[in-house]
């Protein structure tokens, strides 16, 4: 069976097989892609212990990158119940994130009237980030007003410390969900890094493509990202904060006041290689 062979030969789990469209690729092509199995090589090379710890913990991340996290936020593990209540009342509506969640899982928006439910979770020993709710630049918000669209910006610092911008994707929420993560039902579109224009249809790792947003009806190809000309300068500065994290997928929101750093992801989703059609295993090996 081809899927079983791909697990053994390329370290490609079933989700990789689908998201990387291995059924359409030759053996030689398959060997050029980053998979769940072979990306372990990069985990050993591109990060030290501090980098892995910071990227895995939203509180540590916000502290480390405080100059690029402009939104108001609070970590429940360092706060009293009074602090939590006052913070939520101050903003009326906030975003709550489990401290180590991935793929947008468990993220929700709550109102001030729902604070007691959150406090019960905190008393049970669960830790959360509570953050001011961001809004997109109006040009991006119109794609899907119910979610915060983000840019996934993939970068690598090579063995000489030189910066490489690998990929830029627009991550878009769908079906009234509040997050844009493609593993939670959203889609991602490849963005031309020079023009800021989306040049491919929306893709979801479950293996489906879509040419326009199902809610707004806006076509993806030709959509222009505002302020794209400032993105590379911005992300170069972000990379300098923690150069011991050499290969990162940065999630960046485009707000009315500019860029806002949301989080960083180590060994960013291998499924993003499908969006630009560029396998990156050999490329990253050359940066080691």
pLDDT tens-digit map of 135-162: 999 999 999 988 899 999 999 999 999 9
Average of per-residue pLDDT across 69-96: 93
Structure tokens at 124: 């049970």
- Is the CB of residue 246 less than 8 Å from the CB of residue 284? no
Q: How far apart are the first and last CA of the chain?
A: 34
Q: What average pLDDT score do residues 39-48 get?
A: 95
Q: What is the pLDDT of residue 179?
A: 44
Encode pLDDT of 114-128 as tens digits. 888 889 989 988 889
CB 82: neighbour CB atoms within 10 A?
Answer: 8
What's the pLDDT at 113?
Answer: 85
pLDDT for 98: 87
Residue that is written with structure tokens 């001011």 in the block = 132
Q: Is the per-residue pLDDT at 104 higher than 80?
A: no
Say yes or no to pLDDT of 225 above 60.
Answer: yes
Check residue 155 and give its pLDDT: 97
- Determine the Cα–Cα distance for residues 283 and 183; give it in Å rounded to an integer: 25
- Do residues 158 and 183 touch, judged by C-beta distance below 8 A? no
Q: Which residue would you say has higher pLDDT here, 201 or 113?
A: 201
How far apart, in whole angstroms, are the C-alpha atoms of residue 224 and residue 248? 24
Report whether pLDDT(175) > 80: no
Contacts of 72 (CB under 8 A, 6+ apart): 87, 90, 91, 131, 132
pLDDT of 147: 87
pLDDT at 185 over 70: no
**For residues 220 and 206, which has the higher predicted lDDT (pLDDT)?**
220
Q: Which of 5-19, 35-49, 167-181, 235-249 has the lowest mean pLDDT?
A: 167-181
Q: Which residue has the tokens 């300068």?
A: 233
As given in the structure block, the two tokens for residue 19 are 């998201």
8 Å CB contact between 198 and 190: yes
SS3 for 107? coil
Write out the two tokens for 216: 């707004």
Segment holding 93, helix H or strand E: strand 93-98
Please tell me the distance from the alpha carbon of residue 261 to that of residue 234, in angstroms, as a whole number. Answer: 10
- Reading the block at residue 283, the tokens are 């490329």
Asked if residue 180 has pLDDT above 50, the reply is: no
Average pLDDT over the chain reads 91
- pLDDT tens string 69-79: 999 999 999 99
Residue 251: CB partners within 8 Å, gap ≥ 6? 150, 151, 152, 153, 171, 261, 262, 263, 264, 265
Mean pLDDT over residues 81-96, rounded? 92
Distance (Å, rounded) from C-alpha 198 to C-alpha 49? Answer: 36
Q: Which of 110-114, 153-157, 179-183, 265-269 has the lowest mean pLDDT?
A: 179-183
Tell me the pLDDT band of 251, cut-offs 50, 70 and 90.
very high
Question: Which whole number is the average pLDDT over 9-34?
Answer: 93
């Amino acid at each position: 069976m081809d899927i079983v062979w791909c697990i053994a030969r390329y370290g490609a789990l079933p989700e990789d097989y689908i998201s990387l469209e291995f059924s359409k690729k030759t053996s030689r092509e398959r060997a050029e892609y980053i998979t769940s199995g072979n990306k372990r090589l990069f985990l050993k090379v591109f990060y030290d212990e501090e980098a892995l710890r910071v990227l895995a913990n939203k509180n540590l991340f916000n502290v480390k990158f405080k100059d690029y996290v402009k939104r108001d936020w609070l970590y429940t593990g360092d706060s009293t119940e009074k602090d939590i209540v006052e913070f939520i009342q101050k903003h009326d509506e906030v975003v709550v994130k489990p401290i180590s969640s991935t793929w947008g899982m468990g993220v929700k928006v709550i109102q001030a009237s729902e604070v007691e439910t959150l406090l019960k979770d905190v008393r049970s020993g669960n830790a959360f980030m509570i953050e001011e709710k961001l809004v997109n630049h109006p040009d991006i918000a119109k794609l899907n007003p119910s979610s915060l669209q983000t840019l996934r910006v993939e970068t690598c610092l090579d063995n000489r410390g030189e910066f490489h911008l690998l990929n830029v994707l627009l991550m878009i929420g769908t079906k009234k969900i509040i997050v844009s993560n493609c593993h939670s039902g959203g889609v991602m579109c490849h963005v031309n890094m020079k023009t800021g224009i989306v040049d491919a249809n929306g893709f979801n790792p479950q293996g489906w493509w879509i040419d326009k947003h199902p809610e707004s009806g806006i076509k993806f190809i030709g959509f222009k990202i505002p302020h794209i000309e400032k993105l590379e300068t911005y992300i170069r500065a972000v990379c300098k904060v923690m150069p011991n994290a050499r290969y990162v997928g940065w999630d960046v929101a485009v707000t009315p006041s500019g860029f806002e750093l949301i989080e960083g992801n180590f060994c960013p989703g291998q499924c993003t290689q499908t969006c630009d059609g560029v396998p990156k295993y050999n490329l990253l090996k050359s940066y080691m």
